[in-house]
Homo-oligomer: A and B are copies of this chain.
């Protein structure tokens, strides 16, 4: 039986089968190739994508819109939640039930966990979750995996360090579950206050993933093929001096790279503030901008697959 995502919602990564994940990654790679040289694709010609952003996320929105346009499709956008009819007291279900009459696929971002599933329940067009608060951000995790595969040629056999705020980072939480499907070693690098939640580590261990913890970024980088940096936000700390003490240890620079595994790949979901020094941008393994760009083919793949137009 062939795997197929036609008409399906993309709400989270943990419910994707391995075959579906494989299909998404190969479709992204194929569409990226077909697009090369500015060639015009027509997969979504005559189709409309609604970008419903109930909280702002310029990057995710632009990436989805670019993906839809690169497939020849059109876009309608709600980018300002203040002017939407939610402000008049309308339920989310009603809002998406109206929009399903305007569009062939809905991409939604919403501050409330579970809202994407709620929207999907209400409508008959496919819904793609562009981030639902403390919930999931499946397309970010997918583009991260796509990036590692593209940079390294494979995911199996790699050691991946995740560094920074592992406690509050939705991105990192979605990503580790996806990485757990591969033969991967994980190193969690964070100050004690920002450790990966215990229940996630336990989930990973129970799935046979090898996990180690450390506070020492440089040490972790000496053992890793990939390091995934995240931002440490000041507001997460009770004491400002605590933040000041910690943040310096999580600034990746060229000196660290020179001591690390040769060819180590540097990733970051962006925007960065000062977690990675600008001097690193010229390093061949600095993959964070390519990672952001990979959002386009991955989202092209998702749009084309749920529309049955891949």
Q: Which A residues are within 8 Å of any B CB, using their own CB? A: 38-41, 45-48, 50, 56, 58-59, 62-63, 65-66, 69-70, 72, 74-76, 78-80, 83-85, 88-90, 94-95, 97-104, 270-273, 289-290, 292-296
Identical chains bound together, number:
3
| Given known A90-B270, A90-B272, A90-B273, contact A104–B62 (CB-CB < 8 A) | no
CB pair A47–B38 under 8 Å, yes or no, is: yes
Of B45, B89, B103, B270, which is within 8 A of A66 by CB?
A: B103
Residues of chain B within 8 A (CB-CB) of A58 are 78, 83-85
Closest to A307 in B: B38
CA distance A58 to B272 in the complex (A): 29
CA distance A63 to B100 in the complex (A): 11
CB pair A56–B83 under 8 Å, yes or no, is: yes
Residues of chain B within 8 A (CB-CB) of A39 are 46
Given A56-B83, A69-B74, A94-B271, 4 other A-B contacts at CB below 8 A?
Answer: A40-B45, A80-B80, A90-B273, A101-B292
A126 to chain B minimum Cβ distance, whole angstroms, is 13
CB pair A89–B46 under 8 Å, yes or no, is: no
CA distance A80 to B98 in the complex (A): 22
Q: Give me the 4 closest cross-chain CB pairs, A-B, nearest first.
A: A101-B293, A40-B46, A56-B83, A90-B271
Q: What are 15 inter-chain pairs, A to B, with CB distance below 8 A?
A: A38-B47, A39-B46, A46-B72, A48-B69, A58-B83, A62-B76, A62-B78, A63-B102, A69-B75, A85-B271, A90-B272, A94-B270, A95-B271, A97-B289, A101-B289
Of B59, B98, B292, which is within 8 A of A292 by CB?
A: B98
CA distance A293 to B71 in the complex (A): 25
CB pair A65–B59 under 8 Å, yes or no, is: no
Residues of chain B within 8 A (CB-CB) of A76 are 62, 65-66, 69
Closest to A98 in B: B292
A114 to chain B minimum Cβ distance, whole angstroms, is 18
Closest to A289 in B: B97
Residues of chain B within 8 A (CB-CB) of A83 are 56, 58, 79-80
CA distance A85 to B74 in the complex (A): 24
